[in-house]
Amino acid sequence: MGDYGTIINDTGEFDWEGNIYDTLFQKQFDLADPALRPTEQEGMDDLLIVKSWGVTTKETDQSPEA
């Protein structure tokens, strides 16, 4: 929990870079800065927007067999 990093496009693997709960990470950013905190929007509880750049699609096997 709290890990961040990037996805390797060729393999789809997560390349771990760090953790937001790490002391070094918290020293680099002022977590009290309002710009780093989520904002609440009234009447928008059912809306979720996710942005991803450089994402590609791949065909997958949809069978129930492992």
Using one digit for the tens of pLDDT, what is the confidence trace for 31-57?
A: 778 777 767 666 656 666 666 666 677
The pLDDT score that the predictor gives to residue 53 is 67
Look at residue 26 and tell me if it is in a domain: yes
Task: Write phi, then psi, for 52 (nearest 5 degrees).
Answer: -140, 135
Mean pLDDT, residues 58-65? 74
Q: Which residue has the higher pLDDT, 50 or 23?
A: 23
Look at residue 62 and tell me if it is in a domain: no
Dihedral sign for Cα atoms in the order 51, 47, 14, 4: positive
Token readout for 4 is 């961040």
Look at residue 16 and tell me if it is in a domain: yes
Look at residue 29 and tell me if it is in a domain: yes
Look at residue 64 and tell me if it is in a domain: no
pTM: 0.42
Please count the structural domains in the chain.
1
Residue matched to tokens 């393999």: 11
